């Protein structure tokens, strides 16, 4: 089958904070106005309406206040990341976040909440030594994405919406990237887009867990494509669970969606099935400990069987005054009311929920990767957050590095030509996508998805051990084999959602296998990764991160380029 072919100088996969910032910066940075660059954003959903940046509730971490500093933000990020962060990337994050938030306000027109004196209001988020989270009520992402999308729409930037990237296609010589193969989801046609530079900005997304927060369009496609292209993925065992996912029963997709961290930041209590606070039994910082600690405390409490009717726990805000809760958390109050809960005055059932992947493709400070022509930014990229991402550092990460990638790609393409694609690789990728149409089998996709959810939640979830991980390894290999046997009931390619479900599951199972392999390899506990058979953190001085490439897992030492364990960049720190 010969796919339709398009050419563009810069191809951006995904329209979250990373993708849209990359598009704007590439557009702005182009050096030859006489022959402008062709920039294309290709996205699985609709531009401005999909991905997780739009779902950001809590806000954006940035050191703006006079009493705060980039050094303090940096130290919070490094300590929160349990010393696994790439320190140069983290340093870039905290410094460029200031530039980016000013750009969001002053150039793109975002309007964040303000103090009575006109300064930007910054709220408390867990794991931070200073209240530095900029926000727009509790619907910050909508403000950011709407303004970004308007700016992209108003420029000459091409859009391929409802186009699903399925394979990174290398050049015929195999040493660089030639372009990306897509399925046009509206027609089912294959489209090959040749590009001089490609940004992977598909946003990871741990939707392989029974309870998860990210949007349904995220199924780790970018990570799975990078894996198949032989790129190294780091820190993949580090999956962040947000402590407060809404728990409203199996009949609603609202189950698993997040109730923002600001609730605990503002003083919310977590209660067990007996309606008693319990976090004091797990950590002195109680509900304001970092996400990993709170999620683990909650999971342990759930394992003791002292749970709410749906098998979770409760969050309680009423002691802060229902009026205040209604005013400060309008979106959350309405969301809970939709599911029959009164957040302002009563109790809401919650469960830890898979939220974010700290792991991703290894990359350099200019967002380039080991494959010439491929850049990465946002949640697809690994190394910035180490073992645990601070709430508020996610959208900072995607916008900061999206812009860096846009600048870098505009520079890179200046002396690049289009590369001839490996035709056999295009044919092989199409063959795989077509394969379920050519089989007849009774394997249920629904059943496979439920099994995946359970395996990942029970065996590769908040608390792990060798036996459970080995079981998961076997179960995931079995799921992979089952997927290869699956057939599709409907041969019509246009908007064939079952076909896309199959493709989603393929990506999710491939990436789940990497998470499991990395979790087996890490025989200590730190950040989001907790092994009940290795509950202690090894010597921080010898910190190493997991890196998986072409099926081989290695432990690579962390370079302490700015600060060593036990030291601090803060002048007056002990």
List of residues contacting ligand FAD (CB under 6 A): 13-19, 42-45, 50-53, 55-59, 164-165, 201-203, 213-214, 217-218, 221, 258, 356, 378-379, 391-396, 398
Note if 264 is an active site residue: yes
Per-residue 3-state assignment (H helix, E strand, C coil) for 332-367 = HHHHHHHCCCCCCCCEEEEEEEEEEECCEECCCCCC
Is residue 121 within 8 A of residue 36, CB to CB? The reply is no
Q: How far is the CB of 177 from ligand FAD (least distance, A)?
A: 15
Residue 381 neighbours by CB under 8 Å, 6+ apart: 200, 360, 361, 363, 367, 397, 401
- Rounded Cα distance, 256 and 474, in Å: 26
- Rounded Cα distance, 498 and 506, in Å: 12
Provide the pairing of β-strand 190-200 with 4-13. parallel
* Helix orientation angle between 497-521 and 445-459, rounded to the nearest 10 degrees: 20
The residue (of 165 and 476) whose beta carbon lies closer to ligand FAD is 165
Tracing tokens 């939220």 back to the chain, one arrives at: 355
- The two counts, helices (H) then strands (E), for the chain are 14, 18
Q: Which of 73, 147, 194, 242 is catalytic?
A: 242
- Rounded Cα distance, 380 and 425, in Å: 23
Q: How far is the CB of 224 from ligand FAD (least distance, A)?
A: 9
- Using a 10 angstrom Cβ sphere, with 0-12 exposed, 13-18 middle and 19 or more buried, the burial of residue 319 is exposed
The residue (of 30 and 244) whose beta carbon lies closer to ligand FAD is 244
Q: How far is the CB of 144 from ligand FAD (least distance, A)?
A: 9
Is residue 440 within 8 A of residue 503, CB to CB? The reply is no
Q: How far is the CB of 140 from ligand FAD (least distance, A)?
A: 6
- Rounded Cα distance, 360 and 239, in Å: 11
Q: How far is the CB of 139 from ligand FAD (least distance, A)?
A: 10
The residue (of 50 and 528) whose beta carbon lies closer to ligand FAD is 50
- Rounded Cα distance, 9 and 461, in Å: 41
Q: Which of 73, 132, 212, 264 is catalytic?
A: 264
The residue (of 171 and 215) whose beta carbon lies closer to ligand FAD is 215
Provide the pairing of β-strand 133-134 with 122-123. antiparallel
Note if 242 is an active site residue: yes
Q: Which residues on neighbouring strands pair with residue 368, listed in sequence order? A: 375
Helix (H) or strand (E) holding 200: strand 190-200
- Rounded Cα distance, 505 and 219, in Å: 7
- Rounded Cα distance, 366 and 401, in Å: 8
Phi-psi region of 228 (alpha: psi -120 to 50; beta: other; left: phi over 0): alpha
- Rounded Cα distance, 220 and 184, in Å: 18
Q: How far is the CB of 367 from ligand FAD (least distance, A)?
A: 12
- Rounded Cα distance, 483 and 505, in Å: 8
Q: How far is the CB of 315 from ligand FAD (least distance, A)?
A: 16
Is residue 273 within 8 A of residue 308, CB to CB? The reply is yes
Helix (H) or strand (E) holding 313: strand 313-316
Helix (H, G, I), strand (E, B), or coil: what is residue 258?
Answer: strand
In the numeric block, which tokens belong to residue 181? 């193969």
Residue nearest to ligand FAD according to CB distances in the complex? 16
Question: Catalytic amino acids?
Answer: 242, 264
């Amino acid at each position: 089958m010969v796919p339709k072919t398009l050419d563009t100088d810069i191809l951006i996969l995904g329209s979250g904070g990373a993708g849209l910032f990359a598009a704007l910066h590439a557009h702005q940075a182009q050096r030859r106005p006489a022959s402008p660059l062709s920039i294309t954003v290709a996205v699985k959903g609709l531009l401005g309406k999909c991905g997780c940046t739009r779902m950001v509730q809590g806000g954006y971490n940035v050191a703006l206040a006079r009493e705060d500093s980039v050094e303090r933000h940096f130290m919070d990020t490094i300590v929160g990341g349990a010393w696994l962060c790439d320190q140069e990337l983290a340093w870039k994050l905290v410094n460029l976040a200031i530039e980016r938030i000013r750009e969001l306000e002053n150039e793109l027109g975002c309007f964040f909440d303000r103090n009575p004196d006109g300064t930007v209001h910054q709220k408390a988020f867990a794991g931070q030594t200073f209240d530095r989270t900029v926000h727009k009520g509790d619907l910050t992402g909508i403000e950011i994405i709407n303004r970004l999308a308007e700016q992209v729409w108003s420029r000459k930037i091409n859009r391929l919406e409802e186009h699903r990237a399925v394979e990174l296609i290398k050049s015929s010589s195999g040493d660089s990237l030639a372009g990306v193969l897509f399925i046009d989801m509206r027609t089912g046609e294959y489209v090959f887009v040749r590009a001089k530079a490609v940004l992977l900005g598909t946003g990871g997304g741990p939707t392989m867990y029974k309870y998860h927060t990210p949007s349904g369009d995220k199924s780790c496609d970018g990570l799975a494509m990078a894996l198949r292209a032989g790129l190294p993925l780091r820190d993949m065992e580090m999956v962040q669970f947000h402590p407060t996912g809404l728990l409203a029963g199996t009949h609603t997709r609202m189950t698993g969606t997040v109730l923002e961290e600001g609730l605990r930041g503002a003083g919310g209590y977590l209660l067990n099935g007996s309606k008693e606070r319990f976090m004091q039994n797990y950590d002195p910082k109680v509900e304001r400990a970092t996400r990993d600690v709170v999620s683990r405390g909650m999971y342990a409490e759930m394992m003791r069987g002292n749970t709410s009717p749906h098998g979770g726990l409760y969050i309680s805000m009423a002691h802060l005054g229902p009026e205040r809760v209604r005013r400060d958390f309008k979106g959350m109050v309405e969301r809970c009311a939709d599911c029959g809960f009164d957040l302002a005055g009563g109790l809401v059932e919650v469960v830890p929920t898979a939220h974010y992947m700290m792991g991703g493709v290894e990359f350099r400070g200019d967002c380039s990767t080991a494959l010439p022509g491929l850049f990465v930014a946002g949640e697809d990229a690994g190394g910035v957050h180490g073992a645990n991402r601070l709430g508020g550092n996610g959208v900072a990460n995607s916008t900061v590095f999206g812009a860096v990638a846009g600048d870098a790609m505009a520079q890179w393409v200046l002396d690049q030509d289009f590369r001839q694609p490996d035709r056999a690789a295009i044919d092989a990728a199409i063959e795989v996508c077509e394969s379920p149409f050519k089989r007849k089998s009774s394997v249920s996709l629904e059943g496979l998805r439920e099994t995946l959810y359970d395996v990942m939640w029970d065996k590769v979830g908040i608390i792990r051990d060798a036996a459970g991980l080995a079981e998961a390894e076997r179960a995931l290999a079995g799921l992979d084999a089952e997927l290869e046997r699956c057939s599709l009931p409907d041969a019509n390619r246009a908007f064939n959602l079952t076909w896309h479900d199959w493709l989603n599951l393929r990506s999710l199972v491939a990436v789940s296998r990497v998470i499991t392999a990395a979790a087996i390899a890490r025989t200590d506990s730190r950040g989001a990764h907790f092994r009940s058979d290795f509950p202690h953190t090894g010597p921080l001085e010898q910190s190493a991160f997991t890196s998986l490439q072409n099926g081989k897992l290695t432990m690579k030492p962390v370079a302490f380029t700015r600060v060593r364990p036990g030291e601090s960049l803060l002048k007056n720190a002990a």
